[in-house]
Chain A
């Protein structure tokens, strides 16, 4: 699954934790994009994500979210971590527990270090990072270390993986 042995770049901070100073030294990350017009709402991506990360099919813990409110908007779409050029989650972390995956540039949580304080959750304007209360750690998309399983298993080819990171 490409999840073993990630090595991380620890980005240098150009200001104090939580500072608004642009972090120019954070490299661009690979990212996922969604073609909502192709999405059928089958939720394979959520299920597969949960299965590879949690070992069982628990979509509420998936790192991406299929949004479908049939009585408000008739068509589903998938919300994914945009892997921000300026990752507010990373900048907000007071203990440096959000790292950059060397292989993909993904902004990933160091789950050993994270204490689940939730400042990253507040900082993310996309709602794509959250705290798993039972494990007391933040969780977000890690791009499966470069082989995103959601992309591989989407039957409609609605998800695309873009390589932007130069290792």
Chain B
């Protein structure tokens, strides 16, 4: 018996209102999630389709593990051409946690392809094998929480909804698709893609079940992972506000006073969200890595933390990407300090309480008022529109935001190589980022990681990647393999449906020898699907997704060696950063290019074109796409 997939993909054309179904097995070679979505997109979409054109489909796709108890399998992906890509829009997946993907499986579908655009606001309701496009004129203008509340009340309180807020309706490139009170597909502006289709929300209710080939084996792996991840004396909760609370004054008091508990995505043993009840702020949950105190106008003390919670709630309700709004906030502060902006022109309380400023800024961006009309275009484009040297304050990776100062590419060679190595993962969004954390993030961030000697970390790097120099932040030595592995696992995560916060478990800090468990993913896949698969074979699936992504970029005009070479912000080659581990405080362009070429070689891509060679496509069993590589 094979399990994992439901076998059907739903297709909804919002222009004609036509709803149809097709078989998932047509795309089985790409397994699920980002792999399948990219394959469908590659086949169907013309290169000239812009992110907001009706013929840019928005694909929601689950992985074969989604909906099962496979640990962390609650994630699913949205895939489309992203308006965040800069200068060229780029196709990407943007994943979302929570329970939406699992509910879609229980409703009988592996994915949903939404194409066309409706002339009037609509929402999609999917329930047990059926789907309906319904009028949403009464929902247009509501925030994401209100929209979900209305739809759950109207249809089924046990359903799951993802919705856009004002930011998506107004085609803001920072617009997220928000699910629940703290989950989002945030970083690719897909809220605006939904807005361009006048699609306010996707709601799902399913009472069916996901088949599992070997239930007993699956449950055995679940227990194994739970034991590795959960330690009652040192729970892996050093994340979000609960984690940061220990490092910023007032945090511990805030947690003590307001914490209600924790929240996990479907099937996740980690539970990285914190739930707080703060008087005056609506119910909600914080995201795993957000909000960062420095990004939202934190002022010392518990009042500052109440403001962070408030900022979190505003951003989620407006349907904004929290990461990007934080950067917009820092950007505005820098423009203010440099004298580029004044209060009158910006329409913002620039010199007042930073918390008030954040609140005003989030609203401005969501509703495109005042300066927010520029900022809603996301920072690289906003800087162009503002002019006057504003671009000096923006560092982006192919349009994607780099959270400063912690993610500055001059601080770490792996991060410096990421933007050059493609649009799939141009910034540090994979928490198993090798050369940075050294293994799974949730374990890396506990107190145990803090006390781990560098020699131990290098020993793990040597074991997992074959080269301890991956952990040396100040040179490009062995960074190709670090990026290769981080990216490949990220692609695999987006394809199978798991979370890189936990898996792969390369290093277990609770083990005396720091041994991880490199058989988890293969075992989960084999138990659910009933097809034996080793971790190496799974990595080959990741390789296939990487090659597919490259071909997608070639067809749609954003992937080539030339694009890679100009993906790094020029200023990083010349402007010295004082605390950089690089010898000269800048990125050395020659070393970067040399390592990029080693990265091409690892992937089997041509050194001159940066595209998969025919031999590579044949090796990966992608014969059908040879034509695209020529």
Contact B230 A51 (CB under 8 A): no
Q: How far is the CA of A48 from the CA of B266 in the complex (A)?
A: 12
Q: Of A47, A75, A153, which is within 8 A of B68 by CB?
A: A47
Contact A57 B261 (CB under 8 A): no
Contacts of B207 in A (CB 8 A): 58, 60
Contact A56 B210 (CB under 8 A): yes
Contacts of B3 in A (CB 8 A): 56
Give residues 129-156 of B contacting A (CB, 8 Å): 145, 148-149, 152
B459 lies within 8 A of chain A by Cβ: no
Given A58-B208, A60-B106, also A40-B261 (CB < 8 A) = yes
Closest to B269 in A: A155
A61 lies within 8 A of chain B by Cβ: yes
Contact B283 A71 (CB under 8 A): yes
Contact A70 B180 (CB under 8 A): yes
Chain A 30-57 interface mask (CB, 8 Å, partner B; 1/0): 0000001111111110011011101111
Contact A61 B209 (CB under 8 A): yes
Chain B 105-136 interface mask (CB, 8 Å, partner A; 1/0): 01000000000000000000000000000000
Contact A43 B99 (CB under 8 A): yes
Q: How far is the CA of A59 from the CA of B212 in the complex (A)?
A: 13
A74 lies within 8 A of chain B by Cβ: yes
Contacts of A156 in B (CB 8 A): 230, 262, 264, 269, 271
Contact A38 B209 (CB under 8 A): no
Give residues 50-96 of A contacting B (CB, 8 Å): 50-52, 54-61, 69-71, 73-76
A149 lies within 8 A of chain B by Cβ: yes
Chain B 254-293 interface mask (CB, 8 Å, partner A; 1/0): 0000001111111111010001010000011100000000
Contact B275 A75 (CB under 8 A): yes
A152 lies within 8 A of chain B by Cβ: yes
Give residues 118-167 of A contacting B (CB, 8 Å): 149, 152-153, 155-157
Contact B219 A153 (CB under 8 A): yes
Stretch at the interface among B23-31, B190-198, B221-229, B240-248: B221-229
Contact B148 A71 (CB under 8 A): yes
Q: Of A40, A47, A155, A157, which is within 8 A of B263 by CB?
A: A40
B211 lies within 8 A of chain A by Cβ: yes
Q: Of B222, B271, B277, which is within 8 A of A40 by CB?
A: B271
Given A47-B69, A153-B222, also A74-B209 (CB < 8 A) = no
Q: Of A41, A56, A61, A71, which is within 8 A of B264 by CB?
A: A41
Contact B223 A152 (CB under 8 A): yes
What count of chain A residues pass the 8 Å CB interface test?
A: 36
Per DSSP, chain B at the interface is: loop
Closest to B183 in A: A70
Contacts of B212 in A (CB 8 A): 51, 55-57
Closest to A76 in B: B263
Q: How far is the CA of A42 from the CA of B75 in the complex (A)?
A: 12
Contacts of B283 in A (CB 8 A): 70-71, 73-74
Closest to A46 in B: B69
Q: How far is the CA of A74 from the CA of B262 in the complex (A)?
A: 10
Contact A51 B285 (CB under 8 A): no
Q: How far is the CA of A58 from the CA of B267 in the complex (A)?
A: 14
Chain B nearest CB from A34 CB (Å) reads 12
Contacts of B387 in A (CB 8 A): none
B616 lies within 8 A of chain A by Cβ: no
Chain B nearest CB from A39 CB (Å) reads 7
B181 lies within 8 A of chain A by Cβ: yes
Most buried by A among B106, B215, B229, B261: B261
Given A60-B207, A74-B285, also A69-B271 (CB < 8 A) = no
Contact B262 A40 (CB under 8 A): yes
Chain B nearest CB from A123 CB (Å) reads 24
Q: How far is the CA of A59 from the CA of B106 in the complex (A)?
A: 8
Contacts of A50 in B (CB 8 A): 209
Q: Of A42, A44, A59, A71, which is within 8 A of B145 by CB?
A: A71
Q: Of B232, B261, B266, B275, which is within 8 A of A42 by CB?
A: B266
Contact A40 B68 (CB under 8 A): no
Given A51-B215, A71-B283, also A37-B261 (CB < 8 A) = yes
Given A40-B262, A74-B285, A149-B219, also A155-B145 (CB < 8 A) = no
B519 lies within 8 A of chain A by Cβ: no
Contact B68 A57 (CB under 8 A): yes
Contact A74 B275 (CB under 8 A): yes
Q: Of B102, B260, B267, which is within 8 A of A75 by CB?
A: B260
Contacts of B285 in A (CB 8 A): 70, 74
Contact B223 A42 (CB under 8 A): no
B340 lies within 8 A of chain A by Cβ: no
B165 lies within 8 A of chain A by Cβ: no
Q: How far is the CA of A156 from the CA of B275 in the complex (A)?
A: 15
Contact B232 A157 (CB under 8 A): yes
Contacts of A43 in B (CB 8 A): 99, 102, 266-267
B157 lies within 8 A of chain A by Cβ: yes
Contacts of A157 in B (CB 8 A): 230, 232
Contact B265 A42 (CB under 8 A): yes
Contact A71 B152 (CB under 8 A): yes
Chain B 89-101 interface mask (CB, 8 Å, partner A; 1/0): 0000000000100
Contact B261 A39 (CB under 8 A): yes
Chain B nearest CB from A59 CB (Å) reads 7
Closest to B157 in A: A69
Chain A nearest CB from B109 CB (Å) reads 15
Chain B nearest CB from A89 CB (Å) reads 22
Closest to A149 in B: B219
Q: How far is the CA of A57 from the CA of B277 in the complex (A)?
A: 33
Contact B267 A44 (CB under 8 A): yes
Q: Of A38, A44, A48, which is within 8 A of B261 by CB?
A: A38
Given A57-B68, A71-B145, also A153-B226 (CB < 8 A) = yes
Q: List residues of B whose CB falls within 8 A of some A CB.
A: 3, 67-69, 71, 74, 99, 102, 106, 145, 148-149, 152, 157, 180-181, 206-212, 215-216, 218-219, 222-223, 226, 229-230, 232, 260-269, 271, 275, 277, 283-285
Q: List 13 A-B contacts (CB under 8 A).
A: A40-B268, A55-B212, A58-B209, A60-B106, A60-B206, A69-B152, A71-B149, A75-B261, A75-B263, A149-B219, A155-B226, A155-B230, A157-B232
| A-B pairs, 9 with minimum CB distance | A58-B209, A155-B269, A40-B271, A40-B264, A60-B207, A42-B264, A56-B209, A74-B283, A71-B149
Known interface pairs A44-B267, A57-B68, A155-B71; 18 further A-B residue pairs with C-beta atoms within 8 A, sorted by A's residue number: A1-B216, A36-B261, A40-B268, A41-B263, A41-B264, A43-B267, A44-B269, A48-B222, A51-B218, A54-B209, A56-B3, A58-B208, A58-B210, A60-B208, A70-B181, A71-B145, A75-B263, A156-B262
